[in-house]
Amino acid sequence: MIEAFEQAARITADALAAAKPMVRGGVRLLEIAERLERLICERGARPAFPVNICVGSIAAHYSPLPDDPRTLPDRGLVKIDVGAHVDGYPADAAITVDISGDYGWLIDEAETYLEALIANLRPGVAIKRLIKQTYEEAKPLRSRLIVNLCGHQLQRFKLHSGKSIPVVPPRFHREVIREGEVFAVEVFTTTTRGAGEAVAEALVTIYSHTGRIPGGQLGEISRQLLARFNMLPFSPRWLDPSEVGLLSQLHKKRVLTAYPVLREGRNEPVAQAEHTVVIERGGARVLTRF
């Protein structure tokens, strides 16, 4: 199991390394996403979710749609969030690129807080205590943490499973970190003018299967999607046009979970840093460095 996670993580890290030089003004988001997803497949893995490319105040869940015309701006922060899976075991990591050089400090604070979280991860520690310790060590922050986006445990064919790793001390949290667990640990920062919270937009570019199989024609499509992606997120770009036309019906039937695009509550710029780690006896080992 750990070997599969490690292999997925190496491929994820390679994809992020390849992504960084692609981020420049005028490049189509669709071109970046398809090139990175193709790289993952060429390396013997599959995308664990559609490549997310989030610009400016968009924090998460924007993946290019079919024939997406959007291009990167000449200024601003660009988040590239990538995941690969091997036999269902996923890795998940993200970087932020500051195209114009205006907000490098936001990236630095996200990465510094992420490294502090990882350094405090160890078997037997209560997550509530871990977050409180990290939060106290990180003060004072020049940025504002986005409090409703957090790290998550990774399991086979489950990108968000079991335990979560928040970024601010939770009021109620009894979970404990255990040896052998694998997490995607992530941090989002914004300016102090921001709300510090991500809000949902109407646009949806990513779906996943809930495991529910309805009757009739929708049941056949549902079974096909479940066989193809299991319960990992997928993009409409990966579907036949006939399947894309049924997404809204499948969502209404609770066959699919829809992931709306998330933006910062006051439209302030957002930086993201994320790594996949495995919990070992001596602490957390990062699997997605490049």
Helix 127-138 / helix 104-120 crossing angle, nearest 10 deg: 140
Q: Which of 160, 197, 251, 280 is catalytic?
A: 160
Strand order in the sheet with 256-264: 58-60, 256-264, 198-209
Q: Is 85 annotated in the active site?
A: no
Find the catalytic residue in 6, 14, 37, 92: 92
Given the residues 98, 111, 181, 186, select the one marked as catalytic: 186
The CA distance from 30 to 255, in Å, is: 27
Q: Is 186 a catalytic residue?
A: yes
Helices (H), the chain: 2-19, 29-42, 104-120, 127-138, 216-229, 241-244, 247-252
Catalytic site residue from 6, 173, 274, 275: 274
Q: Is 68 among the catalytic positions?
A: no
Separation CA 133–CA 151 (nearest Å)? 16
Active-site residue, from 61, 152, 209, 275: 152
Active-site residue, from 6, 14, 37, 81: 81
* CA-wise closest residue to 234 among 48, 59, 54: 48
Q: Is 251 a catalytic residue?
A: no
Active site residue 81: yes
Question: Looking at the DSSP assignment, which residues form a beta bridge with residue 115?
Answer: none
Catalytic residue list contains 67: no
Active site residues: 81, 92, 152, 160, 186, 274
